[in-house]
A and B are shown apart, each in its own frame.
Chain A
Amino acid sequence: SQPLSGRQAAELQSKVVPSKQILHSDNMEMEPETMETKSVTDYFSKLHMGSLVYSCTSKRKNK
Chain B
Amino acid sequence: RMEASCLELALEGERLCKAGDCRAGVSFFEAAVQVGTEDLKTLSAIYSQLGNAYFYLHEYAKALEYHHHDLTLARTIGDLLGEAKASGNLGNTLKVLGNFEEAIVCCQRHLDISRELNDKVGEARALYNLGNVYHSKGKNVASAGTHDPGELPDDVKNALQKAANYYEENLTIVTKLGDRAAQGRAFGNLGNTHYLLGNFRSAVLAHEQRLLIAKEFGDRSAERRAYSNLGNAYIFLGEFETASEYYKRTLQLARQLKDRAVEAQACYSLGNTYTLLQDYEKAIDYHLKHLVIAQELNDKIGEGRACWSLGNAYTALGNHDQAMHFAERHLEISREVGDRSGELTARLNLSDLQMVLGLSYSTNNSMMSESQVVDNSLNGTRPRVGRRHSMENMELMKLTPEKVQNWN
Question: What 1/0 flags go to A27-61 for Cβ under 8 Å of B?
Answer: 11111111111111111100000001011100001
Interface residues of B in 142-200 (CB under 8 A from A): 149, 184-186, 188-189, 192, 195-196
Q: Known A14-B383, A19-B316; judge A27-B393 contact (CB<8 A).
A: yes
Q: Are B364 and A4 in contact (CB under 8 A)?
A: yes
Residues of A within 8 A of B368 (CB): 4, 9, 12-13
The answer to whether A3 touches B367 (Cβ under 8 A) is yes
B325 lies within 8 A of chain A by Cβ: no
Question: Are B14 and A40 neighbours in the complex by a CB distance under 8 Å?
Answer: yes
Whether A26 and B393, one on each chain, are in contact in the complex, defined by CB atoms closer than 8 angstroms, is: yes
Residues in B with CB closer than 8 Å to A33 are: 55, 92, 129, 132
Q: Residues of A contacting B309 with CB < 8 Å? A: 23
B356: Cβ under 8 A from any A Cβ: yes
Interface membership of B232, Cβ < 8 A: yes
Expressed in whole angstroms, the Cα–Cα distance for A36 and B246 within the complex equals 34
B49, B149, B391: the one within 8 Å of A23 (CB):
B391
Partner of A9, one of B38, B39, B367: B367
Answer whether residue B228 sits at the interface, using C-beta atoms and an 8 A cutoff: yes
Interface size on A, residues (CB 8 A): 49
In the complex, chain B residues whose CB is within 8 Å of the CB of A16: 315, 352, 355-356
Using a Cβ cutoff of 8 Å, how many contacts connect chains A and B? Answer: 207
> Are A40 and B132 within 8 A (Cβ)?
no
**Interface positions of B from 356 to 408, Cβ below 8 Å from A:** 356, 362-365, 367-369, 372-373, 375-377, 380-384, 386-387, 391, 393-399, 404, 407-408
> Size band of the B side of the interface?
35 or more
* B408 and A17 contacting across the interface, CB-CB below 8 Å: yes
Query: Which of B11, B265, B278, B308 sits near A40, CB closer than 8 Å?
Result: B11
The yes or no answer to B284 lying at the interface (CB within 8 A) is no
Bound: A56/B76 CA distance, A: 11
Cβ–Cβ < 8 Å partners of B352 in chain A: 12-13, 15-16
Assess the A39–B49 pair: CB atoms within 8 A: yes
Task: Determine if B39 and A52 form an interchain contact, defined as CB atoms under 8 angstroms apart.
Answer: yes
**Known contacts being A3-B367, A23-B272, is A36 close to B348, with CB within 8 Å?**
no
In the complex the two chains form, is A28's CB within 8 Å of B195's CB? yes
B380 with A32: CB separation less than 8 A:
no
CB-CB under 8 A for A38 and B45, given A23-B272, A25-B394: yes
| Additional pairs, 17, CB under 8 Å, beyond known A9-B369, A11-B381 | A7-B381, A9-B367, A13-B372, A13-B373, A16-B315, A21-B397, A24-B394, A24-B397, A26-B149, A28-B196, A30-B135, A30-B188, A33-B129, A34-B128, A43-B39, A52-B7, A62-B79
Residues of A within 8 A of B (CB): 1, 3-4, 6-44, 52, 54-56, 61-63
